[in-house]
Amino acid sequence: MSTAPGVNDFALKLANVNGTGSASANGLLMQSIFRMGVPVSGKNLFPSNIQGLPTWYEIRVNGAGHTARSLEYHLMVAMNAQTYAQDVASVASGGYVLYDSSWPLDDDLIREDVNYLGVPLAAMCREHFTKNRERILMKNVAYAGALVALLDIDLDIVSTLLAETFAKNEALRESNQRALRLGYDVARENFPCPLPFRVEARGENQDSILVDGNTAIALGCLYAGATVVGWYPITPATAVMDNFIALCKRYRRVEVAPGEWENNYCVIQAEDEIAAIGMVLGASWAGARAFTSTAGPGISLMNELLGLAYYTEIPAVVVDVQRVGPSTGMPTRTQQGDLLACAYASHGDTRHIIVIPADPHEAFEFAVAAFDLAERFQTPVFVLSDLDIGMNDWIVPSLTWDDSFVPNRGRVLHDEDLANMREFFRYAHEDDDHVTARTLPGSDEKGAYFIRGSGHDRFGRYTEESGAYLQVVDRLRAKHASAAHHVPAPLEVRRPGSRVGLVTMGSCDRAVREAIELLAEQGVDCDYLRVRAFPFADSIRDFVDSHESCFVIEQNRDAQLKSLLTVELSLTPASMTSILDYGGFPLSASTVVEAVLAHQEVH
Amino acid sequence: MSTAPGVNDFALKLANVNGTGSASANGLLMQSIFRMGVPVSGKNLFPSNIQGLPTWYEIRVNGAGHTARSLEYHLMVAMNAQTYAQDVASVASGGYVLYDSSWPLDDDLIREDVNYLGVPLAAMCREHFTKNRERILMKNVAYAGALVALLDIDLDIVSTLLAETFAKNEALRESNQRALRLGYDVARENFPCPLPFRVEARGENQDSILVDGNTAIALGCLYAGATVVGWYPITPATAVMDNFIALCKRYRRVEVAPGEWENNYCVIQAEDEIAAIGMVLGASWAGARAFTSTAGPGISLMNELLGLAYYTEIPAVVVDVQRVGPSTGMPTRTQQGDLLACAYASHGDTRHIIVIPADPHEAFEFAVAAFDLAERFQTPVFVLSDLDIGMNDWIVPSLTWDDSFVPNRGRVLHDEDLANMREFFRYAHEDDDHVTARTLPGSDEKGAYFIRGSGHDRFGRYTEESGAYLQVVDRLRAKHASAAHHVPAPLEVRRPGSRVGLVTMGSCDRAVREAIELLAEQGVDCDYLRVRAFPFADSIRDFVDSHESCFVIEQNRDAQLKSLLTVELSLTPASMTSILDYGGFPLSASTVVEAVLAHQEVH
Amino acid sequence: MPSIAKPRIPLAPLAHNDLGLTIRDYEGAMSTLCAGCGHDSVTAAISLAFFELSIRPRDIAKLSGIGCSSKTPTYFINGAHGFNSAHGRMAAIATGAIAAQRGLHYIGVSGDGDSLSIGLGHLSHAIRRNVDMTYIIENNGVYGLTKGQVSPSADVGSRPKKGDPNVVPPIDPMELGLALGATFLARGFSGDKDQLVPLIKAAVAHRGFALLDVISPCVSFNDHEGSTKSYRFFREHEVHEIETDFVPQRAEIRSKISSDSARAVTMHDGSVMYFRALPEGYNPTDRVSVEAYLAERKAMGEVPTGLLFLREGAPDLHDMSGTVSRPLADLDLADLCPGNDALQRLQESFR
Amino acid sequence: MPSIAKPRIPLAPLAHNDLGLTIRDYEGAMSTLCAGCGHDSVTAAISLAFFELSIRPRDIAKLSGIGCSSKTPTYFINGAHGFNSAHGRMAAIATGAIAAQRGLHYIGVSGDGDSLSIGLGHLSHAIRRNVDMTYIIENNGVYGLTKGQVSPSADVGSRPKKGDPNVVPPIDPMELGLALGATFLARGFSGDKDQLVPLIKAAVAHRGFALLDVISPCVSFNDHEGSTKSYRFFREHEVHEIETDFVPQRAEIRSKISSDSARAVTMHDGSVMYFRALPEGYNPTDRVSVEAYLAERKAMGEVPTGLLFLREGAPDLHDMSGTVSRPLADLDLADLCPGNDALQRLQESFR
Ligand SMILES: Cc1ncc(C[n+]2csc(CCOP(=O)(O)OP(=O)(O)O)c2C)c(N)n1
Ligand SMILES: Cc1ncc(C[n+]2csc(CCOP(=O)(O)OP(=O)(O)O)c2C)c(N)n1
Ligand code: SF4
Ligand code: SF4
Ligand SMILES: [Mg+2]
Ligand SMILES: [Mg+2]
């Protein structure tokens, strides 16, 4: 499926050593292209390490808006001698390798079908900068400068960005601008600029922003009114909290006396994930909107208390930024391997609500929705994100907030309500969604009850009687089923006459949509359905039933989405074929296209 | 489905207050009937409390060998005034109520269709015994005596049992015998003894024993050669360890010098379940056979380390004596609600081996098998028992041990093996079951490696490369699939011409088998398949496919077995109908019969 | 229950407190613990302390983990909200609740197993965070609810009903608290209500984490005479069948601890504990001297009781977090949501 | 790696030990930690200590949790089996391994986050059980691997690279150990190998749980000058982009701790720590005086180093458990299985 690169249609990969400051230079390039109004994406493939190991950054420029990961690289910036061999090998035939020519390249790194662009970056920086730190850092900006020239990126935009970034530090601003220019000039002087593939300004990104999912989720939690957080650091979820705290500092401080500020939030770095979810339960029980964010290992540890929350009906929002499992796995690689672990978390009969955003925009909206769902259904709600969404910058439509939004705090009885009641029973008088009313600590004595994870009846009293126990757990099952009508509905895109259906979830979205276009070019028309929540809508069953063949595309080994669909919608397993991609990198369209075509051929 | 009781065909229920010594008297009755050679079962329905709450004991006598729980009680021993009303109400029409007539019965407890047998137990014991403690205790033995007379239980056998029990305490022996006789005599004098339903000696139980599953599992672990245990107390699993420790004291002490004894085992009461499984992993890594036992909440807590064991391929045996969930649930009630939690325990793509015994006999055998499987497949193995199996006494065939048994310690390389190798790589050179060889700490330097829960390649080295990661996790999936050929096969019983199949697991066994006989009487012939392990054998698919309708009978709300079968064997969900019984009590045949007939009528 | 008459929690005469409430307003459900269990005495002392403090039931929140001790919040102050949570997790859950709703008095009740085994991490970190609550450990040296295994507070040599004598050195919550910078440490005895009630009141009054270690005997799993290590299937034993399911009614142990000399109290198992109230002039604010005193008394086999250590004025969780004085749970979205304008402005930096 | 030359772990000249091995036999894989990380110095000290002790690599087992510190067992003694386990669980896993295979020398390496946050319970109970192992906390006051959050050992007021200064009082593992009855407590500094190597050797020699707290600076998350609290999307900040992904190469901090006065050592973040070796005549066997001394020095802002506390002869896990001297993992089924006759006899009691 190799295609020739062209104007606004190519991909580059930058190979660096982590901890050397390359991420900023790479981000600078990607953001500049964004500002030129051209669809672009950046994928940071970094190691679970602080300094000294290989790290890559991939930039894909695609005027048609396909910003899923591409597996073809037309230009490689090879800045890491450790990985020279594999980096050179991975350039598409006819492509380019930009390398630091301060040292000669080994002979065996020379490929006949590839063009080499040697820039003496280290030497240049040694010459132009004096401090050791600057010499290392500026190499990155210098290669960025060369790329600006080679790819026809708007130099003014890059300059402006640098100026904004270093607005408060003149020295740094100046040396960055100098390094940029150095690289730019050396490229213009030595290479045919621009290359055949290049960037051409468009007007595309006007209503878009460039944001990562962890930031977006933090924003969602801020806007939803979350006040209490218990959390424990873990890659790739940590930045949700870094961002949430930073946002709170900006928007949630109250001046209680002149110059005296207090916080409208309380973020507690817990001793572990069990404590983190424990704090969330305590806070939610007490009536606050509370959440935690974690990754797989944290979900495993939270299992017991998630069951407690389910059974006692306490709201909780848990953000799971998935990484590669099992166990510690690959903490800086992406996967969708926690779906089952979240759906049925905890021993005994338990089932939870999950919302599954596809990109940072949805991540923001679903984070807000999660709090409403949690309080409406008085139960844990997972926001199932992943490392690709969470830690990469995505172009998404700008976020908007409806200032008339009224949160759904669910059925909570306050003193006024209690005053009109003869007696309050925690788990009695369910509504149409099988939800019963709760009271909050501090409310009138009439509303006081003793919440417990042990067997209880509809009055909230301890019980070991079958009938009384069944009443409660059967209602819980019905309540969960009801939630299917309130969670984000699946997203369907149909093409007339399609007999093939592609079902997917989360961050696979863009790759699958691109695949649909590529498949159409090959004469295979496909409909698209993206599952956006659990419990599942019945329309998913209809979708599967109404297609001759259905593919379920997901990023885990065990076909977790397909399994969950099978069980929960009573689908015939044979009606779906899995496409599984779980090596730890964001999905690309070609993987899907190849799998679908291969299957079509066989059948 | 009410049937008249008869000789060797009836059930009684004894209602007591817990902590008053009734369990011994009830056990005495049940054991005496066993010694009379008549099939019998005893189900202890006790509260999660130490003293003062209602507790029940049910004895079912059935000459045909049906010892599942019966829902019809022909005789009620009502010793708990707190529950008089419900106890009297639950006696079958025409049945009997034996109560303590030291106090008069309330009028509203009088049912026209029931016979009352008043025995002034408290008064008698006050008269005949002086110590307070004895007066309470002996009431129990006295009602046992009355029942001996009423049910024609062999008094000699009961006496002998008492004599054995109190062999070393003459005073207690004497007072017990006296109390027994008191009750016996008062019944003979006042009531028509025996009742129409009664016990008649048979020769049935010769090759059988009376044992609970927790004891049997402890025995299995002892015989399998387990040496290290990490555990944390939890009902109903605690007795596994009580028994294991007691057995070790008896069989595993070595006299190292005259009068100086040392232990061939090390049992550590851990600080929590996470530590317990951690200790098991440490010990297994170091080469010992190690296990832990727990219940649902412990499984939830162990999730993270179970994933570590799965991914690093460390053997571990985990006994889960299931109780009612979710959360703390009903710790003294039975359920089969942890199947899914065990099958896929931990985040990411994980899948474990599970063996599912139906009774204490299998519990013994499967416990032994679990160690072989764990070491053979280098992975956690769950022994999925439940409270009914674990804490009730069952009549099962006597246990035997093949002294020529050689444990399967799996692929372990010792110094000799290493000496012949050029290099050792932990996860390379898989065998036909996709298992690779391991070495143990302390072995030659050549065999040393660094085990890790983070991404690793087939050499055991840290990796973040897709290909290297995939090689290992794909092999893990294949290895798990291979285990299907080594775990206990499903048990099938076919009746010629049956078009209905009943699929079940674990302690549902006896009730389902009884149901099959009852259904046959109603003209519905059913085949039987009992799932005894996960991963599943393909023959289960064949069984389901070859029946017009299949029922999956299990004790949880969410049809966990049916779900797992559907997903793992790619079955059509519609090909199976669930029969779910999850109120916390052992299954009875009538529940199954009614459900099957109701379904047959509709279809 | 005909066979065992459960004593109602003993009550003071029906006096009224400053709110006009009687002790009945501070009662809970009927206890289902064993007759004579020390925990019931602690329950009564808690009721009395809050009654005497004239705190409205609705202004109290009670939390616990899992265990016999953790059942007890059902048995006091019906009008207070309660949370019987999971084994060992109460400290973390209470921390979250307190972060959300600072307007209440929080009392946590736990056991020595719940707090010092599975919950040790959470307890320790709640101490560090100086979470504003009263945390009572009803300390009986055993896991009562799971039938008598030794707990981490069991002394070396103490013999559980089943199993071998304990060999692992105990954790003394007071020493632990000192090492972790606790701000309020006190020890009481369930049998000495005169001392216990004021200690609870002091703990409630303390701003920050008040850790109260209450020795509270378990009648059921400390009442064995001699060895009962044999098991059902051995049958060499004597009265095992009966011992496992017979719980004798025991009287509660009561003893007033005088301040001048150590008082010997005979426990249900026949063992003797020596309680000593703190001497006159004891300085609970000097950690080094407190540590020395505890060590000295421990060497004598005595258990000092009273307010052992106090540091007032230390920042609590809210001080550390800089939270507003209005409870976070009481804030509305209007107080919390920056609105669309702010969102649009913020997004300028996302371009 | 052209841009960052990673120093190999510094080595002693190629002397031979009693086994005829050189220090190379005690080396591990190349470190992937940041240049200048204190942990690399501890790694070197461990290699050297075992080399000097002339212990065969195969007789060593090395365990760790998760964190930068927990990566280090890969970097020493290739010939020893190693277990890089899960975050906070190493103490429990080591306990099981030691129960199974008592024939080895066990060394556990952990971080302050690994040990004092998530792993606090397991560490504490391993101390109580006096599990026979050397347990090193590479203590840097931060979570290195997750990029610099404060850990429970961070001092009040210490400022992480991101986020606010720490406000929660720290846990001092030495004070904790004293409260829990530890039998060996020592503190070293990664920059003083002369003191550290003997401490490690003493810890290995100790029978029981030897807790070694090693101050080990993190160059990456303590090197910020001034405030860096702003975030990417605010863009009001200065050099945030670069700070998050640029790790300067730092020289390792080295300082020899003399025994006569406290020595000031400037850390990477510019802060100064005062290390003090124990004075002559210091009595590490008297807990009360040790506690007093630690408190006194703490008040002076000093960090005492050396063998702080020692109790020899206390029973270890195996003594407490009465296990045979032959490692349990080495026993065969023949040693363990009572056989069919015994089973049949036993079942007489099941009838
Ligand atoms: C996760 C988990 N593990 C184990 C248990 C079983 N369990 C219930 S109470 C208890 C110990 C209680 O001991 P303690 O806290 O001292 O309370 P006590 O009963 O002595 O008052 C245990 C182990 C549980 N409920 N949950
Ligand atoms: C269950 C779990 N939670 C969180 C993490 C993420 N994590 C990895 S290392 C670490 C902290 C390490 O800090 P420390 O032990 O002090 O080691 P250092 O890196 O400072 O040497 C955390 C929180 C994890 N791996 N597992
Ligand atoms: S078992 Fe012990 S702690 Fe539990 S209620 Fe009975 S006496 Fe109290
Ligand atoms: S981040 Fe800190 S602790 Fe981790 S390797 Fe770098 S310097 Fe060491
Ligand atoms: Mg206790
Ligand atoms: Mg650290």
Q: Work out the average pLDDT over B310-322.
A: 98
Q: How confident is the model at residue C233 (pLDDT cuts 50, 70, 90)?
A: very low
Rounded Cα distance between B406 and D349, Å, is: 27
Q: Is there a contact between A270 and A279 (Cβ–Cβ < 8 Å)? A: yes
C130: left (phi over 0), alpha (psi -120 to 50) or beta: left
Task: Identify the pLDDT of residue A50.
Answer: 87
Burial D115-126 (b: 16+ CB within 10 A, else e): bbbbbbbbbbbb
Q: Which of D112, D175, D289, D290 should one mutate to test binding to chain C, selecting the residue with the greatest count of C CBs within 10 A?
A: D175
Cis (ω within 30 of 0) for the bond into B196?
Answer: no
Question: pLDDT at position A263, please?
Answer: 98
Per-residue pLDDT at A299 exceeds 60? yes
Please report the pLDDT score of residue D273 as a whole number: 78
Q: Do D349 and C235 touch (CB under 8 A)?
A: yes
Q: Which two structure tokens, joined as six digits, stand for B307?
A: 């994933």
Is residue C98 pLDDT above 90, yes or no?
yes
The amino acid that residue A464 corresponds to is E
Q: How confident is the model at residue D192 (pLDDT cuts 50, 70, 90)?
A: very high
Q: What pLDDT digit, counting tens, does each position of B341-360 carry?
A: 999 999 999 999 999 999 99
| pLDDT value of position C235 | 28
Q: Does A349 touch chain C (CB under 8 A)?
A: no
pLDDT score of D241: 35
Other CB atoms within 10 Å distance of the CB of residue C14: 8
pLDDT digits (tens, 9 = 90+) for D272-311: 878 888 988 899 999 999 999 999 999 998 999 999 999 9
Q: Which CATH class is domain B211-397?
A: alpha beta
Q: Which residue of B has its CA nearest to A454?
A: B329
Beta carbon of D218 within 6 Å of any ligand 4 atom: yes
Q: Tell me which residues have their CB closer than 6 angstroms to ligand 3.
A: B 50-51; C 33-34, 37, 39, 68, 140, 144-145, 218-221
Q: Closest ligand 4 atom, CA of D219?
A: 7
Give D201-220 as a DSSP string. HHHHHSSSEEEEEEE---SS
| Structure token digits, residue B279 | 């200790």
Is 80 exceeded by the pLDDT of residue A338?
A: yes
Locate CATH 3.40.50.920 in chain B: 491-602
User: Which fold would CATH assign to domain B491-602?
Assistant: Rossmann fold (3.40.50)
Adjacency order of strands within the sheet including B500-505: B491-493, B526-531, B500-505, B549-554, B576-580
Using a CB-CB cut-off of 8 Å, the residues of chain A touching C103 are 442
How far is C88 from chain B, CA to nearest CA, in Å? 9
Residue C224 has pLDDT above 80, yes or no: no
Q: Looking at residues C33-53, what average pLDDT do you find? A: 96
Instruction: Kindly indicate the confidence band of residue D160, based on its pLDDT and cuts at 50, 70 and 90.
Output: confident
Place of tokens 């029980």: A285
Q: What is the mean pLDDT of residues B143-172?
A: 95
Average pLDDT over residues C210-219: 95
- pLDDT at site C220: 85
Taking chain C, what is the end-to-end CA distance rounded to the nearest angstrom? 74
* Residue C237 pLDDT: 30
Closest CA to A514 of A574, A591, A585, A414: A591
- Within B384-456, residue ranges assigned H as helices are 387-391, 415-419
Of A285, B560, B327, the C-alpha closest to C92 is: A285
Fold of C23-329: Rossmann fold (3.40.50)
Average pLDDT, integer, range A315-326: 98
Residues from chain A that touch B331, judged by Cβ atoms under 8 A, are 454
Q: What is the mean pLDDT of chain B?
A: 96
Please report which confidence band the pLDDT of residue A5 belongs to, taking 50, 70 and 90 as the band edges: very high
Q: What is the mean pLDDT of residues C89-108?
A: 98
Instruction: Tell me which H or E stretch contains B510.
Output: helix B509-521
Atom of ligand 2 nearest to the CA of A297: 1
Q: What is the pLDDT of residue C239?
A: 33
Q: Which tens digit of pLDDT belongs to each residue from A475-510?
A: 999 999 999 999 999 999 999 989 999 999 999 999
Choose between C72 and B134: higher pLDDT: C72
* Ranges of CATH 3.40.920.10 domains, chain B: 9-190
What would you measure as the largest C-alpha separation in chain C, in angstroms? 82
Nearest to C100 among A290, A444, A448 (CB): A290
Q: Could you tell me the two tokens for B144?
A: 């046992």
Task: State how far the Cα of A159 lies from the Cα of A155, in Å rounded to an integer.
Answer: 6
For residue B4, the model assigns a pLDDT of 85
φ, ψ of residue B382 to 5 degrees: the values are: -95, 135
A257, burial (CB in 10 Å: exposed 0-12, middle 13-18, buried 19+): exposed
> Tokens representing B386?
């439940």
The reported pLDDT for the residue numbered C7 is: 52
Summarised one tens digit per residue, pLDDT across range B518-543 is 999 999 999 999 999 999 999 999 99
The residues near B460 (Cβ < 8 Å, ≥ 6 apart) are: B425, B426, B427, B449, B450, B451, B452
Contact A227 C58 (CB under 8 A): no
Of the pLDDT bands very low, low, confident and very high (cuts 50, 70, 90), residue C238 is: very low
DSSP class per residue in B158-198: HHHHHHHHTTT-HHHHHHHHHHHHHHHHHHHHHS-SSPSS-
Q: Where are the domains of chain D?
A: 23-329
Give the distance from residue A205's alpha carbon to the nearest chain B alpha carbon, in angstroms.
33
Nearest CA to ligand 3 atom 6: C34
CA distances to A49, C46, C170, C173, C284 from C190, rounded to whole Å, are 53, 11, 20, 16, 22
- Measure the CA–CA gap between B8 and B60, rounded to whole angstroms: 9
**pLDDT confidence of residue A351:** 98
Give the separation between CA A273 and CA D88, rounded to whole angstroms.
11
How far, in Å, CA of A399 to CA of C344, rounded?
8
Q: How far is B565 from chain A (nearest CA, A)?
A: 10
Nearest to A307 by CA among A263, A260, A341, A258: A341
Query: Is the shortest distance between the CB of D116 and ligand 4 below 6 Å?
Result: no
Per residue in A65-85, pLDDT (tens digit) is 999 999 999 999 999 999 999
Cβ contacts of C299-302, under 8 Å, gap ≥ 24: C300/C262, C300/C274, C301/C274, C302/C262, C302/C274, C302/C275, C302/C276
Interface confidence, given as ipTM, is 0.96
What pLDDT score was predicted for residue C250? 76
**CA–CA dist D290, D282 (Å, integer):** 8
Question: How near does any CA of chain B get to the CA of D257, in Å?
Answer: 34
Asked if the model's pLDDT at residue D321 lies above 60, the reply is yes
User: Chain B partners of D324 at a C-beta cutoff of 8 Å?
Assistant: 254, 256, 262-264
Tell me: the pLDDT tens digits for D216-238? 999 887 644 422 222 222 223 22
**What average pLDDT does chain C have?**
88
Q: What is the pLDDT of residue D13?
A: 67
- Is the pLDDT score of A343 beyond 60? yes
Residues in CB range of A142: below 8 A, 6 or more apart? A119, A121, A124, A125, A179, A180, A182, A183, A186
* DSSP secondary structure letter of residue A453: S
| pLDDT tens for each residue of B446-471 | 999 999 999 999 999 999 999 999 99
B293 falls in which pLDDT band (50, 70, 90)?
A: very high
Minimum-distance CB partner of C239 among B103, B166, B233: B166
State the Cα angle at D116 between D112 and D120, rounded to 5°: 145
Whole-number percent of chain B with pLDDT over 90: 95
Nearest Cα to Cα of residue B166 among B152, B180, B150: B180
With bands split at pLDDT 50, 70 and 90, how would you rate the model's confidence at C231? very low
Ligand nearest to the CA of D109: 2
- Across the range B265-272, mean pLDDT stands at 98
Of B69, B93, B89, B68, nearest to B78 (Cα)? B89
Tell me if D219 sits within 8 A of D268, measured CB to CB: yes
Q: Confidence class of residue C266 from pLDDT cuts 50, 70 and 90?
A: confident
- Any chains having at least 3 CB pairs less than 8 A from chain B are A, C, D
Amino acid D9: pLDDT:
59
Residue-wise over B459-480: b if at least 16 C-beta within 10 A, else e? bbbbbbebebbebbbebbeebb
What part of A 439-458 touches C (C-beta under 8 Å)? 439-445, 447-454
Please give the pLDDT value at position B378.
Answer: 98
pLDDT digits (tens, 9 = 90+) for B224-256: 999 999 999 999 999 999 999 999 999 999 999
In chain B, positions 171-210, which contact chain C (CB-CB < 8 Å)?
A: 172
Tell me what the mean pLDDT of segment A390-418 comes to.
97
- CB atoms under 10 Å from CB of B127, counted, come to 11
- Comparing A373 with A172, the larger pLDDT belongs to A373
Q: What is the pLDDT of residue C230?
A: 21
Cβ contact (<8 Å) for B327 and A312? Answer: yes
Question: Which ligand lies nearest the alpha carbon of C139?
Answer: 5
Enumerate the CATH 3.40.50.970 domain ranges in chain B, comma separated.
Answer: 211-397
| Omega prior to A357 cis, within 30 of 0 | no
| Confidence at C269, pLDDT banded by 50, 70, 90 | confident
In angstroms, rounded to a whole number, what is the distance separating the alpha carbons of residues B288 and B280? 9
* AA identity, residue B433: D
The pLDDT value given to residue C31: 96
Ranges A555-559, B71-75, D156-160: which has the least confidence: D156-160
CA distance C185 to C212: 6
The encoded tokens of residue A114 equal 């590839």
Of the listed ranges A107-121, A161-175, B487-501, C159-173, the least confidently predicted one is C159-173
| pLDDT score of D1 | 32
CATH topology (fold) of B9-190: Pyruvate-ferredoxin Oxidoreductase; domain 3 (3.40.920)
